[in-house]
Amino acid sequence: MKKSGINRKTLSLGPVLFHWDAETKRDFYFRIADESAFDTVYVGEVACSKRTPFFAPYVPEVVERLQRGGKQVILSTLALIMSKPEIEQVIDLSKNTNLLIEANDIGTAALLMGRPHVIGPFINVYNEDTLEYLANQGAVRISLPWELPSESLSALAKYANAEVEAQVFGRMPLAISARCYHARAHGLHKSKCQFVCADDLNGMNVETLDGEDFLSINGCQTLSHTICNLIGELGELQGMGINAFRVWPHAIDMVAVGQTFRDVLDRAITATEGQEELAEYVDFAPFSNGFYHGGEGATYVASP
């Protein structure tokens, strides 16, 4: 199968998971288009269908600007589809675009089967048989779950008849729910949420009763407090045959973050130098890489 327009050693910018103000988000993407080292940029609402209308009017100009900047644009979709209007959002999208669409719910994947599409990391791909099945239905890229240990990543990369992408930077979107915890924490109901999620650009902090940072809330989504960071493992990942790397956007200098990953992938700087640069850009949470090393996702295992 033709891997439409996907390059080797692809650095991707995942969709913005948080509910940023629409114009802020537009300007963010303009800067990514003009200045960043990303090859692929995912655009689209993943966490909550109520947010989709805010950014929808800006999508065409954002896509155009990104394409002018030489970026491949992939349209991301909702992680949990429960209602008719939600599936209709996806059906409309699939009818009205020639761009690749990333499915994050199996219902969306089903709609896209038979044409080239991307399987997002919210779809459970844990083994070769599932990977093969989805690739045979037209998935040209499969972005693997953040939870997979290196042994699984390696096995899947070997087997892949589609390009596989690893999650290498950002808070991990650990869970999705029908319930909105942002609204709940503010004493509101999801139907009258007042979009309080817009206040927290990197998610709302959740601490334990002992005052320890624990998780981060983004509407219906629960993310890790820690920031997954596999810059030290990029070499290993490439050695396995993985050639696409996803960085998740946060309200920090993502152009700089992208450049650091690009420089390490291109061997322009060492992973240690890259790590030092990232530590300068991230000031709100520690790094983790525990899932990759087969343990607790919250932990950080120092490189040997």
Partner 1 sequence: MTAALELVCPAGTPASLKAAVDAGADVVYAGFADDTNARNFPGLNFTRPQMKEGIAYAHERGCGVFIAVNTYPKAGNPDPWRMAITDAATMGADAIILADIGLLAYAQRAHPQLRRHLSVQASASNAQAIGFYHRAFGVKRVVLPRVLTIKEIAALNAQVPVETEVFAFGGMCVMAEGRCSLSSYVTGQSPNTDGVCSPASHVCYEKRDGKLISRLGDFTLNIFSDGEAAGYPTLCKGRFVTQDMPSYLFEEPASLNALDILTELAAAGVSALKIEGRQRGRAYVNQVVKTFRNAVDAASRGETVAVGDLGAMSEGGRETTGAYEKIWH
Q: Between residue 142 and residue 171, which ones bind partner 1 under the rule CB under 8 A?
A: 145-148, 151-152, 155-156, 159
Q: List the one residue out of 152, 143, 175 whose CA is nearest residue 248.
A: 143
Which window, 60-68, 108-116, 263-271, 274-282, contacts partner 1 (CB under 8 A)? 108-116
**Distance of alpha carbon 94 from alpha carbon 103, whole angstroms:** 10
Check: CB of residue 47 under 8 Å from CB of residue 105. Answer: no
**Residue numbers 63-102 binding partner 1 by CB under 8 A:** 79-84, 86-87
Cβ 27 to partner 1, closest distance in Å? 28
Cβ 47 to partner 1, closest distance in Å? 12
Q: Does 184 bind partner 1 (CB under 8 A)?
A: yes
3-state secondary structure of 123: coil
Lookup: tokens for 285: 């949470």
Check: CB of residue 164 under 8 Å from CB of residue 137. Answer: no
Fill in the per-residue mask, 285 to 304: x = in contact with partner 1 (CB under 8 A), - = not in contact: -----xx--xxxxx------
Q: Does 111 bind partner 1 (CB under 8 A)?
A: yes
**Residue numbers 28-57 binding partner 1 by CB under 8 A:** none
**Distance of alpha carbon 188 from alpha carbon 31, whole angstroms:** 35
Q: Which of 210, 283, 302, 304 binds partner 1 (CB under 8 A)?
A: 210
Cβ 39 to partner 1, closest distance in Å? 26
Lookup: tokens for 277: 């640069």
**Distance of alpha carbon 225 from alpha carbon 152, whole angstroms:** 24
Q: Does 235 bind partner 1 (CB under 8 A)?
A: no
3-state secondary structure of 260: helix
Q: Which of 54, 58, 195, 214 binds partner 1 (CB under 8 A)?
A: 214
Lookup: tokens for 130: 């599932």
Q: Does 172 bind partner 1 (CB under 8 A)?
A: yes
